[in-house]
Chain A
Amino acid sequence: MKQSAEVVRIEHATRTFGAVRAVDDLSLSLSEGEVMGFLGTNGAGKTTTIKMLLGLARPTSGVVSVFGGDPSDPATRAKMGYMPEIAYYYPYLNARELLSFYGGLCGMDRRTVRARTDELLETVGLAEAAKRPLKTYSKGMLQRAGVAQALLADPPLLVLDEPFTGLDPLARIHFRELMRSLRDKGKTIFFSSHELGETELLCDRVAIMKQGRCFYQGPVRQLAGEGERNLERLFLDVLEKGAVS
């Protein structure tokens, strides 16, 4: 059986801000084609971990590598698409101009950007609002613009920070379908979320963080076979007791 290639490797990574250990001795790995949900309460260290994955923050100690490279190297980041939790994209641009801007940053040629833009605006349901300035967009529409910019260069790894925030139920269903189709295309997806239901539906594995430390890491499907335990129960156990047996 073919062994899946390792896409993300975090080994004993610690990130401190003064006396605060935002991430404490975190180790996890993500294989090609895998979808991993990254759970935890506010301040658990999820966003700091994502920043380390994107090369926006360096670990104080330990190793973070993506596709075997240093994420602070632009060549490594060329293989990643990132969607932030909240971003109030340039209000004076419209969605088409936004994607053209990000396409340029990715070094894509104009023709490819135009073709991808048409395709993605259709996919995320912004085709009709493509020429409206972003300042007129709702939060959910900005989220969808964020998804489009993350997918623009068709990267093999997607890092999504709270992707379900601000989406209405219909958009949420649509986004779930999009995530599934991306998974089926072999994309590796790492996303943080507070939405346990969505995480359970979409993920192969989950990691649960509390106060900078990872207390659980394992497959979601296994949970269903453990009697009454589901992801919500597991999450609460981790928060209450720390490590889970």
Chain B
Amino acid sequence: MKTFLRQIGALVRLSFVELWRRNDVFGLLVLALALMAPLSMASPFGASGASRYLDEAALLLIWAFSLFIALGTGSRLFPPEFESRTVYPLLSKPISRGRVLFGKYLGAVSASWSALAFFYALYFGSSLLRGGSASAEFFQAVALHFAFVALAVSVALLGSLLVTPSANLTLSAIALTGMFFFGRRLPEYAETLSAPLAWLTRLVYAVGPHAEFFDMRQRLVHGWGAVDAGVFAVVLAYAAAYSCVCLALAAAALKRRRL
């Protein structure tokens, strides 16, 4: 058990160090700070509508940044190891490929979570300055967003072992943003299509990563209250199950990979 924890700890630390020493992520955090600070100081003369717009803009920004970081981190877990040939000393150590994959995934998720926590801390701070307060839906929204990031990292990680890095980033971004914006409309859309395309659309709906399940922005902005605890739990379970399937497929791909 000690060995397991030390190995996982080493891989997690590596992902953290990599993320926080990357110039693009550092730039993103500075950008978030630069954009959120004026939001917190904005005084919409007590007009709740204007304040909602600010909230919506800030939350969309957090979603975009978190997706960028999750995909960037997940997709960089293995390709640089192959390119720089560090995969050889890595896998020559007394650690199985499955454990390397699991440790790297945990590292990428926790590093992405740390960036997300930073964004939400900024958002929460700006919300407090504008008279907002912590609510149950806020904590639900944050928890679902964290679960989404874990899912997005697993999708990018799987893609990184199957296709080229640029194709992986493009496909993962299209799949996740496509489902985020249009996922809930796919069943209706399928009804309007003829047989082969309708089946294809239903297949995409069945196997695609449902990013829209995790989006609580509207509830948060309009104060519609928290979702039912059962629904919340099912969505978290969906994220866990989807991530597990992606990791299992990634482990199989890594095991079969010729080095």
- A residues apposed to B, CB below 8 Å: 17, 51, 54-57, 74-75, 77-78, 80, 82-84, 86-90, 92-93, 97, 100-109, 146, 149-150, 159
Return the CB mask of B78-103 against A: 1 if under 8 Å, else 0: 00000011101111111110000000
Q: Closest Cβ of chain B: how far from A94's Cβ, in Å? A: 10
| With contact pairs A56-B259, A102-B93, A104-B9 given, residues A82 and B14 touching in the complex (Cβ less than 8 Å) | no
Q: Are the CB atoms of A82 and B89 closer together than 8 Å?
A: yes
Secondary structure call for the B interface:
helix
Segment 16-38 of B: residues with Cβ below 8 Å from A: 17-18, 21-22
Nearest residue (CB) in B for A97 is B17
Q: Are the CB atoms of B84 and A89 closer together than 8 Å?
A: yes
Could you tell me the distance between the alpha carbons of A57 and B6 in the complex, rounded to whole angstroms? 26
Q: Closest Cβ of chain B: how far from A116's Cβ, in Å? A: 14
Q: Closest Cβ of chain A: how far from B14's Cβ, in Å? A: 6
Q: Are the CB atoms of B10 and A104 closer together than 8 Å?
A: yes
Q: Are the CB atoms of B91 and A56 closer together than 8 Å?
A: yes
Q: Are the CB atoms of B89 and A57 closer together than 8 Å?
A: no
Q: Are the CB atoms of B95 and A105 closer together than 8 Å?
A: yes
Could you tell me the distance between the alpha carbons of A92 and B96 in the complex, rounded to whole angstroms? 24
Q: Are the CB atoms of A74 and B259 closer together than 8 Å?
A: no
In the complex, whether B185 has a CB less than 8 A from a CB of chain A is no
Some 12 contacts from A to B, beta carbons below 8 A apart, are A55-B92, A57-B258, A57-B259, A87-B86, A89-B84, A90-B18, A90-B86, A104-B6, A105-B11, A105-B93, A108-B6, A159-B92
Could you tell me the distance between the alpha carbons of A85 and B95 in the complex, rounded to whole angstroms? 21
- From A78, A83, A93, A105, residue with most partner B Cβ within 10 Å: A105
Could you tell me the distance between the alpha carbons of A150 and B7 in the complex, rounded to whole angstroms? 17
* Set B6, B13, B17, B86: member contacting A89, Cβ < 8 A: B86
Could you tell me the distance between the alpha carbons of A84 and B91 in the complex, rounded to whole angstroms? 12
| With contact pairs A56-B259, A57-B258, A92-B21 given, residues A74 and B95 touching in the complex (Cβ less than 8 Å) | yes
How many A-B contacts at CB < 8 Å in the complex? Answer: 88
Q: Closest Cβ of chain A: how far from B182's Cβ, in Å? A: 37
Q: Are the CB atoms of B7 and A107 closer together than 8 Å?
A: yes
Q: Closest Cβ of chain B: how far from A135's Cβ, in Å? A: 10
Q: Are the CB atoms of B88 and A105 closer together than 8 Å?
A: no
Q: Closest Cβ of chain B: how far from A145's Cβ, in Å? A: 10
In the complex, whether B3 has a CB less than 8 A from a CB of chain A is yes
Q: Are the CB atoms of B86 and A88 closer together than 8 Å?
A: yes
| With contact pairs A74-B96, A87-B84 given, residues A101 and B91 touching in the complex (Cβ less than 8 Å) | no
* Set A77, A92, A107, A146: member contacting B3, Cβ < 8 A: A107
| With contact pairs A74-B94, A82-B88, A83-B89 given, residues A101 and B259 touching in the complex (Cβ less than 8 Å) | no
Which residues from chain A contact B13 at a C-beta distance below 8 Å?
101, 104
* Set B10, B14, B92, B96: member contacting A56, Cβ < 8 A: B92
* Set A17, A56, A97, A109: member contacting B6, Cβ < 8 A: A109
Which residues from chain B contact A56 at a C-beta distance below 8 Å?
88, 91-92, 259
Q: Closest Cβ of chain B: how far from A126's Cβ, in Å? A: 16
Could you tell me the distance between the alpha carbons of A174 and B91 in the complex, rounded to whole angstroms? 28
- List 14 extra interface pairs beyond A17-B258, A104-B7, A159-B92, CB under 8 A: A55-B91, A57-B258, A77-B93, A84-B85, A87-B89, A89-B86, A90-B84, A102-B89, A103-B10, A105-B7, A106-B93, A107-B3, A146-B89, A150-B89
Q: Closest Cβ of chain A: how far from B236's Cβ, in Å? A: 30
| With contact pairs A77-B93, A92-B21, A101-B14 given, residues A54 and B6 touching in the complex (Cβ less than 8 Å) | no
Which residues from chain A contact B6 at a C-beta distance below 8 Å?
104, 107-109
| With contact pairs A87-B84, A104-B7, A104-B9 given, residues A92 and B17 touching in the complex (Cβ less than 8 Å) | yes
Could you tell me the distance between the alpha carbons of A89 and B87 in the complex, rounded to whole angstroms? 10
Q: Are the CB atoms of A51 and B89 closer together than 8 Å?
A: no
Q: Are the CB atoms of A84 and B93 closer together than 8 Å?
A: no
* Set A80, A103, A104: member contacting B92, Cβ < 8 A: A80
Which residues from chain B contact A17 at a C-beta distance below 8 Å?
258
Q: Closest Cβ of chain B: how far from A8's Cβ, in Å? A: 14
Nearest residue (CB) in B for A85 is B85
Which residues from chain A contact B3 at a C-beta distance below 8 Å?
107
